[in-house]
Amino acid sequence: MDTSATATLCSLCKRRPAFFFRPYSGEKLCQKCFAESIEAKVRATVSKHHMFNFDDRIAVAVSGGKDSISLLHILAKMERRHPEASLVAVTVDEGIKGYRDEALQIAAANCQMLGVEHHVVSFEKLYGFTLDQLLERAQRKGVKELTSCAYCGVLRRRAFNVAAREVEADKIATAHTLDDEVQTVLMNIFRGDMLRLAKEKPVTDEVHPRFVRKVKPFCEVPERESTLLAFVKGVRFQDVPCPYASEAMRNDVRAMLNRMEEKHAGTKHAVFRLMERVRPGLAEAVMKEEFKECVECGEPASSVLCRTCELLRRLE
Ligand code: SF4
Ligand code: ZN
């Protein structure tokens, strides 16, 4: 929030006082124009990437945090204008004591307020143990090569996919912001992972009939603005961080990018746009990846075992 803008009028409506300065565009916005600009950005992103069909059943991945709650509100508003489309919220309960319970409650309350159906899938039901139990087991066994988030990420992706199939969704909409996307790009570059660099994009490819396609309507919305939107709209969201939040490399990349953005406004957008242009040339890397069925669980996998079963085997 920019205090120097308080005496200035909004650059868009030129009537109401500005409360927010957008460094990368030079705009000073009032609350109403700010909220409308985010909605317009999301609509433009959705249409540019052909994210939805008019009659899609969309599963929104709602964690209960600010980004996913903001996305749920925007998609619910958009869906009202498309009577043949339908929206369902899905929440994954990883089983993180003292953390996920509050998020679940917040997700449910927002869904109820918006009249959106809410579906919860838990690690416990899906895998037979909670994330807490799994990490305890990893510690007991002395398996240390993966972070908590690495386990959680793989199992959660699977859980969202299973949940989306259960609710017969055509697409899963996730609340990844511009920041998440650009961090992921840099992390994949730093790891030298070209396949991932090519695969991670605003709309995932149709690689297997059992994979529900993922779309990211917030991919051009900076995280700072998605947070601010939740405040402007006065929605309830969970703001305590996950006790396991430990993805060391992402934290470093986030800090670095934020520093760059502060000094050179527009850096994040520049990386995002560069990737949009480079990605088609990387398509060859993805085409070589063939999906079969995991011998253990039958879910789509790029080798004999899927990533989920591979992880779980280490802990057996
Ligand atoms: Fe899972 Fe890591 Fe997110 Fe916690 S911070 S919910 S462990 S991915
Ligand atoms: Zn498997």
For residues 63 and 100, membership in a common domain is answered with yes
Atom of ligand 1 nearest to the CA of 152: 1
For residues 176 and 303, membership in a common domain is answered with yes
For residues 184 and 84, membership in a common domain is answered with yes
Which pLDDT belongs to residue 62? Answer: 96
Which pLDDT belongs to residue 72? Answer: 96
**Smallest-distance ligand from the CA of 291:** 2
**Smallest-distance ligand from the CA of 158:** 2
For residues 25 and 68, membership in a common domain is answered with no
Question: Rounded distance, CA 184 to CA 200, Å?
Answer: 8
Measuring CA to CA, how many Å separate 188 from each of 71, 152, 276?
A: 25, 18, 15
Which pLDDT belongs to residue 1? Answer: 52
| Domains identified in the chain, total number | 2
Which residues hold their Cβ within 5 A of ligand 2, which is an ion?
Answer: 294, 296-297, 306, 309
- Distance from the alpha carbon of residue 247 to the mean position of ligand 1, in angstroms: 8
For residues 7 and 66, membership in a common domain is answered with no
Cβ atoms of 78 and 67 closer than 8 Å: no
For residues 34 and 140, membership in a common domain is answered with no
For residues 79 and 29, membership in a common domain is answered with no
**Smallest-distance ligand from the CA of 92:** 1
Q: Where residue 220 sits, what CATH number does that domain have?
A: 3.40.50.620
For residues 109 and 245, membership in a common domain is answered with yes
Give the residue from 171, 173, 163 showing the smallest Cα distance to 126: 163
For residues 135 and 24, membership in a common domain is answered with no
Can you give the residue range of the structural domain that contains 219? Answer: 49-314
Strands (E), 7-132: 20-22, 27-29, 57-61, 86-93, 117-122
- Distance from the alpha carbon of residue 92 to the mean position of ligand 1, in angstroms: 11
Which pLDDT belongs to residue 142? Answer: 86
- Distance from the alpha carbon of residue 252 to the mean position of ligand 1, in angstroms: 16
pLDDT in tens, 128-170: 999 999 999 998 988 877 889 889 999 999 999 999 999 999 9
For residues 163 and 298, membership in a common domain is answered with yes
User: How remote is the C-alpha of 290 from its chain's centroid?
Assistant: 25
Give one word for 96, left, alpha or beta, with left for phi > 0 and alpha for psi -120 to 50.
beta
- Distance from the alpha carbon of residue 245 to the mean position of ligand 1, in angstroms: 5
For residues 175 and 208, membership in a common domain is answered with yes
For residues 26 and 121, membership in a common domain is answered with no
Which pLDDT belongs to residue 6? Answer: 47
- DSSP, collapsed to helix, strand or coil, labels residue 75 as helix
Residues of the chain short of pLDDT 70, as ranges, are 1-6, 246, 285-288
pLDDT in tens, 37-76: 999 999 999 999 999 999 999 999 999 999 999 999 999 9
Q: Ligand 1 pocket check: which of 148, 158, 238 to mutate, most ligand atoms within 8 Å of Cβ?
A: 148
Which pLDDT belongs to residue 5? Answer: 43
